[in-house]
Amino acid sequence: MDSLKDEMRGAIVHMAWSGAPVSDWNAVAQTYYDGGLNTAVIETYPSHLILGHFTELDTAIAAFHARGLRAHILNTVNLQPLNDNMRMRAANGSLIDKTCPVRAASKATFQTIFTNLATNYALDGFQYDYIRWPGESGGGECYCDECHAKFIADTGLSNTVWPVDAQLNGRYHWQFIQWRIAQITLEVESIRGWMIAQKPSLEFGVAVFTGWSNQYSYPAMDVGQDPADWVIRGLVEHINPMCYKSDMSGGVESFQDYFLSSRDIMAGGTASRKGAVPFIPWIMIGGTESAPTPAVLAQQVEYIRNNGGNGFLIWRYGGPGQTSHLDIRPFLQAIASQTSKDLFQVLEISNISVRSVVSGIEVSWQTSSSVPSVIEYSANPLFKLRARTNEYGRNFTYYDCDYVNSSLVTDATPKTSHAITLSAGQGPYFRVVASDIFGTSFSKVYATVTQHRLTISSNPSGLPFILRRM
Ligand SMILES: [Zn+2]
């Protein structure tokens, strides 16, 4: 996505076709609209997409589009394999009921269903879910023949005694953990590639495990997710840690701890400076953990807004049209009435373009409301990866997204059509920043030296954003 909005306000429609079927998509979409949400995240499983065209998904997307909302499709990628050829295999040879992304059958299936999803449905974005290995306690390591062969091919460790050397306390265990992370990154990259080839405007987000104080390396080791690496590689347009906590004490493993640890590691942001991509956590209103009350959820949204977030995604919808889950409406009302952002407005940057002028490079863009013109520039790409190795005795490497430095060029006169010229010493890296009293939007980081590679577009979906007061 070329223009990054402040803010994304979404909720997941969970189990829409199984367990808690939706009876009326128009009633669901209208409740989103009335509650001030601008994004629907509609859950699918691989099984929904393998048997011909899933017309129910068209119905769902159309209901949200009719009200000006964006429709993102979530898929629980590795959660439910479709057959034994996709399943993981335990060290003792038995099958595990989770998908091994290394297996040829898994890749072929995913290429088919995700290419088809991008080609034949009107989605605006894709949300990876369960894009990971199961955790350690859930038999999270796969020792299938295909993993065996690829581990040796990738690492060159041809003397590996399989699976013993790869297992906990084996001589190549940490090389195996490292390799396992790379397989999930490859899966994220592959699915994006298949889908982007069909629909370049798609926005990708990813539900990821949070870090927390002194345990930053745990999710990478446990489930193989390395989100900062995906952010800097450009594989996701926004990042979505699952900050599922009602505890607002600020202590270890509180909501604030989950939020801040993840924000700093995955996106490199601060309260005053946005990170490398929009940081849009999942927050929870009902489930197996003790869930926040409406008032606490409103506090969490306020905390996100004041600490460098760019929106929120609520797990999960209940209410008109899907009555099996907790009613979301009191929560949306609490957010609308108890936080500073009572105006449910989206500030959008669009039509960024670059041209050479006598004094340098002129960057022009538009904003959806009248705001000052701001460009953040640097001689470096603003953010970079920092390797973190061998933390807590875990002998592998994962990445931390760090801000490097930047400077600002500002024209304080509020306007909607902007143009600023960067002189020879300003750049080559830059991004556009737009702020009003409700928040800050920002573009991707571009480089003027490679302007022939810039992809410049308006709001890619063509959907209008809703500007209205609750
Ligand atoms: Zn495997």
CATH of the domain at 417: 2.60.40.10
Q: Report residues of the chain scoring pLDDT below 70.
A: 1-6, 136-139, 287-290, 338-345, 449-470
- 144 and 56 in a single domain? The answer is yes
Write phi, then psi, for 385 (nearest 5 degrees): -90, 140
Give the number of C-alpha atoms closer than 13 A to the C-alpha of residue 374, restricted to the C-beta side.
18
- 259 and 295 in a single domain? The answer is yes
Domain contains 42: yes
- 219 and 307 in a single domain? The answer is yes
Q: Ligand 1 mean position to 167 CA, how many Å?
A: 14
Domain contains 461: no
Q: Ligand 1 mean position to 166 CA, how many Å?
A: 13
Q: Ligand 1 mean position to 17 CA, how many Å?
A: 29
Q: Ligand 1 mean position to 220 CA, how many Å?
A: 17
Domain contains 420: yes
- 334 and 368 in a single domain? The answer is no
Domain contains 464: no
Domain contains 409: yes
Which residue stretches of 15-54 are H helix? 25-34
- 294 and 430 in a single domain? The answer is no
* Residue 467 pLDDT: 27
* Residue 455 pLDDT: 35
Q: Ligand 1 mean position to 340 CA, how many Å?
A: 49
Among 310, 338, 366, the domain boundary falls at: 338
* Residue 259 pLDDT: 95
* Residue 424 pLDDT: 84
**CA-to-CA separations, 454 to 4, 351, 376, 440, 449, in angstroms, rounded:** 16, 12, 17, 23, 10
- 202 and 89 in a single domain? The answer is yes
Q: Ligand 1 mean position to 223 CA, how many Å?
A: 14
Q: Ligand 1 mean position to 134 CA, how many Å?
A: 12
For 133, residues 6+ apart whose C-beta sits below 8 A from its C-beta are: 78, 98, 140, 141, 142, 180, 184, 223, 224
Q: Ligand 1 mean position to 89 CA, how many Å?
A: 6
Domain contains 66: yes
What pLDDT digit, counting tens, does each position of 264-323 carry? 999 998 888 889 999 999 999 976 556 889 999 999 999 998 898 989 999 999 999 999
Q: Ligand 1 mean position to 148 CA, how many Å?
A: 7
- 313 and 363 in a single domain? The answer is no
Q: Ligand 1 mean position to 284 CA, how many Å?
A: 32
Q: Ligand 1 mean position to 107 CA, how many Å?
A: 12
Among 338, 363, 392, the domain boundary falls at: 338
- 236 and 317 in a single domain? The answer is yes
- 185 and 288 in a single domain? The answer is yes
- 334 and 375 in a single domain? The answer is no
* Residue 460 pLDDT: 33
Give me the number of domains the chain comprises.
2
- 299 and 444 in a single domain? The answer is no
Q: Ligand 1 mean position to 104 CA, how many Å?
A: 10
What pLDDT digit, counting tens, does each position of 62-92 carry? 999 999 999 999 999 999 999 999 999 999 9
Domain that holds residue 176: 8-338
- 291 and 353 in a single domain? The answer is no
CATH code, domain with 299: 3.20.20.80
Q: Ligand 1 mean position to 118 CA, how many Å?
A: 26
Q: Ligand 1 mean position to 91 CA, how many Å?
A: 11
Q: What type of residue sits at position 340?
A: S
Q: Ligand 1 mean position to 101 CA, how many Å?
A: 7
